[in-house]
Amino acid sequence: MPSVHFTPNLRRHLLVESTEVEGQTVSDALSRVFRDNPGLRSYVLDDQGRLRTHVVIYVDGRPVRDRTALGDAVGEGAEIHVMQALSGG
Amino acid sequence: MLLHLGTRKGYLALRRFGKGDWRSERTAFIGDPVSQLLPDPRDGRLYAALNLGHFGVKLRVSEDRGASFTELPAPAYAKDETSSEEAPSVDLLWCLEPAGPDPGSLWCGTIPGGLFRSDDGGRSWALNEALWNQPSRERWFGGGYPHPGIHSVLVAPDGERVVAGVSCGGVWISEDGGESWRVRTEGMFAEYMPPEQREDPAIQDPHRLAWCEADRRRIWCQHHNGFFRSDDGGETWTSLDVPPSSFGFAVAAHPGDPQVAWSVPLVKDECRVPVGRRMVVARTRDGGASWETVGRGLPEGDSFAVVYRHGLDVHPGEAVLAMATTTGALWISEDLGDSWDLVTAELAPVYCVRFDPP
């Protein structure tokens, strides 16, 4: 299963832990994380479900290309890192 | 007397121990921008709007006057099924006000221009569709931000009459608690626009609205193009010449005397610093017929201080003024603006100051 990790900076605001979830895409994987932790969603995605401007997601070391629908594929055993971009803030 | 401040780097509350003697009582959200605060006079709750740089806008509420906060859902737009890249998402929670006599009824004005309402103390929010769907909204535009925003919401005690200020989108009035709206800017003008648009209501840029609680027909408006007064509850507006400049962001109305108001002038839109770098407050005591510049105690020169829209407040009972700046200074006046005491010059840029209600 893909595993999802979050920037520790989010822990200033809410409880968030690394987790393993089913999913074929970044969107699938995050949806499962948000099902268990619904408050986390608005920290990562905007009102329309797009990746927030100053948040970046890496899949196996590469930034996702689809920041609108998060349709990038994730393989079995993928490492997904949700990080804050170095812009903004 | 307690004063709440929202700054670029957190929240703090200061309590008055004597003239010029205000001490920090508590802080929260250190390091995080606090865009707006509402110490609710109806139930004592304190709402705090945050703008986390990476993680979006957030709303928190305190049931113990700021000692601890819990998270509420922030106002948000419904998902646009077209998945357009232009579909709206809330960028800033810009104003928070009680929406009427019922505790828990709230208005929240936002960038990009949505007015949201809660009737359950912020546990859920609904976009005010009546204002959002106004055809002229397509002519609104951002002033200082990429998108337009609602920064002022004046609400009569019964919640029926509402006057909202939009930068840049005019002054909107509702007589039915937000069920319907009309735009009213007759008398306002915008010299910086093409000639055919100068009096278009939907492009006016009221920077801030303030009304006299004792006579809500009297509304003051610091506008991008000047300073305006209404004597009829916002239906029509009269341009006033405020020395040393009619440009600025903040305005405060005396709660009990409709003849008295204050602004904090800056040179002009393309040069946002005090005139002559001398920070002053402009005050009228005759309904705007004449103005005086006051400010004994304020810096004599070399000032770059700007007071943002929500950076000037007047205590609803005591006519004490609080003014805080982008340069991180907090000033208090206990004589209607004649003289000012510096409380601290060590704050981050200040977005809002609000007195705790009596």
Q: Could you tell me the sign of the dihedral formed by the alpha carbons of A75, A76, A82, A86, in that order?
A: negative
Residue spans of chain B under pLDDT 50: none
Q: Could you tell me the sign of the dihedral formed by the alpha carbons of B111, B252, B294, B227, in that order?
A: positive
Q: How far apart are CA B353 and CA B289, in angstroms?
A: 28
Q: In chain A, which residues have their Cβ closer than 8 Å to the Cβ of B74?
A: 42
Q: How far apart are CA B36 and CA B109, in angstroms?
A: 10
Tokens 């993680």 belong to residue: B55
Burial of A69 (0-12, 13-18, 19+ CB in 10 A): middle
Mean pLDDT value of segment A18-37:
97
pLDDT for the residue B73: 97
Dmax over Cα atoms in chain B, in whole Å? 58
Inter-chain residue contact A9 with B54, CB threshold 8 Å: yes
Residue B49 in contact with partner chain A when CB distance is under 8 A = no
| Closest C-alpha to B246, from B300, B282, B220, B289 | B282
Size of interface A-B (CB pairs under 8 A): 55
Q: Is the pLDDT score of A6 beyond 70?
A: yes
pTM: 0.96
Nearest-CA distance A2 → chain B (Å): 23
Q: Which two tokens stand for residue A24?
A: 């074929």
Mean pLDDT value of segment A37-49:
96
Of B56, B83, B88, the CB nearest to A52: B56
Q: How far apart are CA B43 and CA B246, in angstroms?
A: 38
Inter-chain residue contact A52 with B76, CB threshold 8 Å: no
- List, in sequence order, every residue forming a beta bridge with A26; answer none if it has no partner: none
Q: Which residues of B31-48 are buried (b: 16+ CB within 10 A; e: fewer)?
A: ebbbbbbbbbeeeebbbb
pLDDT for the residue B81: 81
Determine how many CB atoms are found less than 10 A away from the CB of residue B323.
27
pLDDT for the residue A87: 54
Of A47, A50, A54, the CB nearest to B53: A54
Inter-chain residue contact A68 with B85, CB threshold 8 Å: yes
| Closest C-alpha to B3, from B350, B260, B283 | B350
Residue A76 in contact with partner chain B when CB distance is under 8 A = no
Residue A11 in contact with partner chain B when CB distance is under 8 A = no
Asked if B15 and B356 count as a contact pair (C-beta separation under 8 A), the reply is: no
For the segment B217-251, what is each residue's pLDDT rounded down to a tens digit?
999 999 999 999 999 999 999 999 999 999 999 99
* CA-based R_g, chain B, Å: 19
Q: How far apart are CA A38 and CA A48, in angstroms?
A: 15
Tokens 């019922």 belong to residue: B102
Percent of chain A topping pLDDT 90: 94
Tokens 């170095």 belong to residue: A86
Question: B144: which DSSP letter?
Answer: S
Strand order through the sheet with B330-333: B312-314, B321-324, B330-333, B341-344
- What separation in angstroms does the CA of B343 have from each of A89, B21, B356? 28, 7, 17
Q: Is the pLDDT score of A89 beyond 50?
A: no
pLDDT for the residue B83: 64
Of A47, A50, A88, the CB nearest to B53: A88
- List, in sequence order, every residue forming a beta bridge with B294; answer none if it has no partner: B281
Of A14, A42, A52, the CB nearest to B54: A52
Q: Which two tokens stand for residue B170?
A: 């005019």
Spell out the residues 6+ positions from residue A8 whose beta carbon is closer than 8 angstroms to its own.
Answer: none
Residue A18 in contact with partner chain B when CB distance is under 8 A = no
Read off φ and ψ for residue B24, nearest 5 degrees: -65, 125
Q: In chain A, which residues have their Cβ closer than 8 Å to the Cβ of B80?
A: 48
- List, in sequence order, every residue forming a beta bridge with B70; answer none if it has no partner: B61
pLDDT for the residue A88: 47
Q: Which two tokens stand for residue A83?
A: 């990080």
For the segment B41-79, what is each residue's pLDDT rounded down to a tens digit?
999 999 999 999 899 999 999 999 899 999 999 999 999
| Closest C-alpha to B265, from B35, B278, B254 | B278
> For A47, which residue in chain B has the nearest alpha carbon?
B89
